[in-house]
Amino acid sequence: MKAKLTCCMIGMMIVFLPCFSSAAEMQIVNPPAHLALAASPDSDIVINKESFEPQKAFANQSFEFGLMYHYFDYKEDVSPGKSKETGWLPGIFLGWNYNKKNDVYSKLFFEFSYGDTKYEGTDQTGAMPVTFDNDNKQILFRGELNIGYNFAVTKNISLRPYVGYGYRNWSRGETTLRSNGISSVKERYYWHYLPAGLSAEYNAGNKFFIEPNVGMRWMFFGEMRAYFSELVPGYNDPEFKLGNTVGWYADIPIRYKFSQYWSVVVKPWYEYSTIGKSDTVARTYHGVVDSYYYEPDSTTHQYGVNVGFVLSY
C-alpha cells in the first residue's frame, strides 16, 4: 500500500512540477501590471515608444502676416533730373517658413503696398519743372522664395545661408492730362531676380528672438511698358528692356513670444535697388513712327518697418 502511495506521489510530482516551473517563468516574463518596468535610454522599448508618438502636421513651421509702412525714394540718374518719386506707402505682408536646426530652411513671402507719391521732375525737354502729388498711384508687389540650411552654431544661435527666386512688379502713376497742360503716362515695371544672403537667429531668452538678415538681389529679364494708348488712342504701348543690375537689402526682425503658439514681430528694414538704362524704342501712331524713347538709369532707396503676428508650431 505504501509502495503504491509512494508511486502515486512521485507520478503526481512528475506531472505537476513542469507546470509550476512554467508558471514561475511566466511570472518573470510578465510581471504584475502594478510593477514599474525599467529600461535603459537606448533600449528598444524607449525607441519604439518615441517612434509611435503622433507627429505634428506643421512642426517647425510658422505663418506670419501684418502691416507695412515704408518710405519710397526713386530718382532717375540723368542730368537735368527728369523724374523723382518720393513718399510714404502703406502695405501688407504675408509669409511662411520652415525652420529647424541642422535641417533644410525655406521661406516664402509676399508684399503689397499702395499709395500716392510726390512727383518732381521736368518735361521731356528738361526745361520746364513739373510737380504734382495727386492721381499718382504707386502699386508695388513682391513675391520671393528662399531655400537654404539652418546650421546650429550654439544652443541659442543659428546661421542660415540661402538662395532663391523673386519677382517684382511696380505700377507707376496714372495716365492723365493735368491742369498745367502736362500729360503723365502710366508705366509698369516688372523683373525677376535671384536673392542670396545670410540670416541668423538668436534666442535671447524664452520669449525674445532676434533674426538679422542681409543679402543681394540679382535682377534679370527686366522690362517696362509705357501706356501711351490710354492717353491718345492710336499710340502703341512700347516695351523697354531694362538693364540688369544688382541691389541689396537688410532687415532685423525682433519677435516676442507671448503664448505657446503666437508671437508679435517688429521688423525694421532697408532696400537699395537700381535699374539699368533700357534700349531705345519707337513710339508709333497708327503704325507710323512718332518719336523715340528710352528708360534712363535710376536708383531707389526704401526703408520702413513691418509689424505683425507669427503663428508657430
Amino acid 313: pLDDT: 86
Q: Is the dihedral of CA 40, 41, 44, 45 positive or negative?
A: positive
What residues contact 276, with CB distance under 8 A and at least 6 apart?
A: 222, 242, 243, 244, 245, 297
For residue 29, being part of any structural domain is answered with: no
User: Per-residue pLDDT tens for 2-40?
Assistant: 444 344 444 444 444 444 344 334 443 444 444 344 444
Give the whole-angstrom CA distance, residue 7 versus residue 78: 122
Residue 81 resides in a domain? yes
- pLDDT beyond 60 at 68: yes
Q: Which residues contact 289 (CB under 8 A, 6 or more apart)?
A: 282, 283
Question: What tens digit of pLDDT does each residue of 252-296 get?
Answer: 999 999 999 999 999 999 999 999 999 999 999 999 999 999 999
Helix extents (H) in the chain: 2-29, 44-51
pLDDT of residue 151: 98
Phi, psi (deg, nearest 5) at residue 273:
-140, 155
pTM for the whole structure: 0.80
In-domain check, residue 141: yes
Kindly state whether residue 2 falls inside one of the protein's structural domains.
Answer: no
Give 161-174 pLDDT, tens digit per residue.
999 999 999 999 99
| pLDDT value of residue 45 | 42
Mean pLDDT of 292-312: 97
CB atoms within 10 A of CB 255: 22
Q: Is residue 64 part of a domain?
A: yes
- What pLDDT is attached to residue 292? 96
Single-letter code of the amino acid located at 299: T
Length of the chain: 313
Q: Domain range holding 137? A: 54-312
CATH number at residue 70: 2.40.128.100
CA distance 119 to 295: 17
Q: Is the peptide bond before 32 cis (omega within 30 degrees of 0)?
A: no
Distance CA 68, CA 23 (A): 74
Does the residue 18 lie in any domain? Answer: no
Q: What pLDDT digit, counting tens, does each position of 112-128 carry? A: 999 999 999 887 777 78
Total domains in the chain come to 1
219 within domain boundaries: yes
Q: State the average pLDDT for the chain.
A: 85
With respect to residue 163, please indicate whether it lies within any of the assigned structural domains: yes
